[in-house]
């Protein structure tokens, strides 16, 4: 299943359930706590905190994200990228734990013919926050999961926040068992390469202070209402459904690796393990560099007086400033693409005749 089909199925699943589709925000938002958007919920933070009324009760999006906290793992593990796409569904005081679990289970295990991903229910494991009896019970009732495939973990693994003060909450993560050839028995607590996390359901209910509950600190308060924030790793689902060995060999990144082989004269498939790491790091960083460059370009365009007056160059219905500045509209731009997905690479100009 190609990545674009995974994205389409995710959005269609939640649109059928009444969620409003929302375009990805730019990687650079007006948020002083972040350099780059690192999660799908970032653009919805004012709604979670109660600072602004949400224009919809539920929403769904495919958000472009950048994280560098675990950059040392890139290229070495099967699952880490610095730039990735996070598919999410969000509830602003509408449904809570039961609804989130029902939506996720039906999409993950639903048949391909019915628009699901078709994962074998017998290979699904989940984790819950260490004292979340309700989530454990709901997974048994809704999905029929046996207790031995529901594991409790502490805040380091099963409490989520943005890494800065703001909204947060305990979470429940969905894992897929890749099989005994990929690691030890025992579930996610034993081996997270064999048991691959694909989806995190965050029960967004707390306000985090300077210290994170992930490390034992108490939340400084409760959010005005109980919300849902989920994040599915599009690249991780792609690597499972495409039958490749890692996120770098999917239809999105493998072409970059192939091009690097051509330019370097080295082999990815037949080279040394160290060569493999180098190829994967290069592919990952090229993608991240292109995405962040484009986001910075559009952010810069929106700082111009013309944009301040019209607010149009980075709007969903206008071509980006960087496309018009260089005298053309880029082929990758369309009225439905988000600001961070629009190409802003300048066309090479011919030298002026002397």
pLDDT at residue number 346: 36
Counting beta carbons within 10 angstroms of the beta carbon of residue 212, is it exposed (0 to 12), middle (13 to 18) or buried (19 or more)?
Answer: buried
Nearest to 136 by CA among 49, 313, 127: 127
Cβ 127 vs Cβ 148: under 8 Å: no
pLDDT at residue number 300: 67
Domain boundaries, the chain: 3-245
pLDDT at residue number 113: 97
pLDDT at residue number 77: 86
- Fill in the DSSP letter of residue 21: E
Helix (H, G, I), strand (E, B) or coil at 235: helix
C-alpha angle with apex 162: 87 to 224, nearest 5 degrees? 90
Tokens of 308: 């301040």
| DSSP β-ladder status, 195-208 and 166-177 | antiparallel
Cβ 64 vs Cβ 27: under 8 Å: yes
Counting beta carbons within 10 angstroms of the beta carbon of residue 82, is it exposed (0 to 12), middle (13 to 18) or buried (19 or more)?
Answer: buried
Q: What are the start-end ranges of the E strands in the chain?
A: 20-21, 58-66, 83-92, 124-129, 150-153, 159-161, 166-177, 195-208, 221-233
Nearest to 203 by CA among 87, 41, 34: 41
pLDDT at residue number 315: 37
Tokens of 81: 């990228």
Nearest to 286 by CA among 245, 251, 253: 253
Cβ 342 vs Cβ 320: under 8 Å: yes
Nearest to 38 by CA among 160, 158, 128, 154: 160
Report d(CA 92, CA 41) in Å as an integer: 11
Report d(CA 174, CA 188) in Å as an integer: 10
Residue 174 backbone phi and psi in degrees, to 5: -105, 130
Nearest to 205 by CA among 61, 22, 53, 50: 50
In this structure, the number of other CB atoms found within 10 A of the CB of residue 88 comes to 26
pLDDT tens track, the chain, 354 positions: 999 999 999 999 999 999 999 999 999 988 888 889 989 999 999 999 999 999 999 999 999 999 888 888 888 888 888 999 999 999 999 999 999 999 999 999 999 999 999 999 999 999 999 999 999 999 999 999 999 999 999 999 999 998 889 999 999 999 999 999 999 999 999 999 999 999 999 999 999 999 999 999 999 999 999 999 999 999 999 999 999 999 999 999 999 999 999 999 999 999 899 999 999 999 999 999 988 888 888 766 665 444 444 433 343 333 343 333 333 333 333 333 333 333 343 333 333 333
Helix (H, G, I), strand (E, B) or coil at 75: coil
Tokens of 133: 């009896």
**CATH superfamily of domain region 3-245:** Bira Bifunctional Protein; Domain 2 (3.30.930.10)
- Fill in the DSSP letter of residue 35: S
Tokens of 158: 């099963």
In this structure, the number of other CB atoms found within 10 A of the CB of residue 53 comes to 8
Tokens of 73: 């793992």
């Amino acid at each position: 299943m190609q990545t674009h089909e995974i994205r389409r199925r995710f959005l269609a699943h939640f649109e059928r359930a009444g969620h409003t589709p929302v375009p990805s925000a730019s990687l650079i938002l007006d948020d002083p706590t972040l350099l780059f958007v690192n999660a799908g919920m970032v653009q919805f933070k004012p709604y979670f905190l109660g600072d602004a009324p949400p224009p919809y009760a539920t929403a769904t999006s495919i958000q472009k994200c950048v994280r560098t906290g675990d950059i040392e793992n890139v290229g070495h593990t099967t699952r880490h990228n610095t730039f990735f796409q996070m598919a999410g569904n969000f509830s602003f005081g509408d449904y809570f734990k039961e609804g989130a679990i029902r939506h996720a289970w039906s999409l993950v295990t639903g048949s391909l013919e019915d628009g699901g991903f078709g994962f074998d229910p017998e290979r699904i494991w989940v984790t819950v926050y260490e004292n979340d009896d309700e989530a454990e019970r709901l997974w048994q009732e809704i999905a029929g999961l046996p207790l031995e495939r529901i594991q409790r973990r502490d805040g380091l693994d099963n409490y989520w926040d943005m890494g800065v003060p703001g909204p947060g909450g305990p979470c429940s993560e969905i894992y897929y068992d890749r099989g005994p050839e990929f690691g030890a028995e025992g579930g996610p607590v034993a081996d997270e390469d064999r048991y691959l996390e694909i989806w995190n359901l965050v029960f967004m209910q707390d306000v985090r202070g300077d210290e994170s509950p992930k490390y034992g600190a108490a939340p400084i308060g409760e959010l005005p209402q109980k919300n849902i924030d989920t994040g599915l790793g599009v690249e991780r689902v792609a690597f499972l459904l495409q039958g490749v060995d890692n996120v770098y060999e999917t239809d999105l990144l493998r072409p970059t690796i192939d091009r690097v082989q051509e330019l370097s004269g080295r082999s990815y498939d037949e080279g040394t393990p160290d060569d493999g790491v180098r190829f994967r790091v290069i592919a990952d960083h090229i993608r991240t560099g292109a995405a962040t460059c484009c986001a910075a370009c559009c952010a810069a365009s929106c700082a111009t007086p013309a944009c301040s007056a019209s607010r149009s160059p980075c709007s969903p219905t206008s071509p980006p400033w960087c496309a018009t500045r260089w005298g053309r509209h880029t082929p990758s731009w369309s009225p439905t693409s988000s600001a961070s997905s629009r190409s802003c690479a300048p066309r090479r100009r011919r030298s002026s005749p002397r």
